[in-house]
Amino acid sequence: MTRLRTSLLAGLIAAAFVAGAAAPAAALDDQRRPSAEDRGFQRSQGRGQSRDQGREQQQEVRRPISESEALSRAQRQARGARFVGSQGRQGSSYVFLFEKDGRTFTVSVSAY
């Protein structure tokens, strides 16, 4: 009789564990990030969105650019100045040194 109770109790504990482990997985599926198809669908309906929702979606998509991409943007801004060096990433921007007509100046490019 005790063997039967022990087996039933072990089965109930195992079932409760499996059910408890499945619940968070189901919650994660409901909270998943929208895929590219979902975002495209949302954009097509976007006329009814508030500005805050649009900004939140933009902030999710933004990723930092590489230093080489930032350098090419800085060279376009410097308009023919000679590249002297890089001060690297400072906060949320890259800082580059350029020289033109004997003057040294910096160009800051957003990392996003």
CA angle 39, 53, 111 (to 5 degrees): 80
Q: How far apart are CA 20 and CA 37, in angstroms?
A: 31
For the chain, the structural domain boundaries read 1-32, 37-62, 67-110
* CA proximity to 80, closest of 64, 100, 97, 96: 100
pLDDT of residue 86: 95
pLDDT of residue 39: 53
| Tokens encoding 98 | 């350029």
Quote the pTM value: 0.47
- Reading the chain (112 residues) residue by residue, the pLDDT tens digits are 677 777 666 766 776 666 665 555 555 555 555 555 555 555 545 555 566 666 666 666 788 999 999 999 999 999 999 999 999 999 999 999 999 999 999 999 999 9
Taking residue 70's Cβ as centre, other Cβ atoms within 10 Å add up to: 22
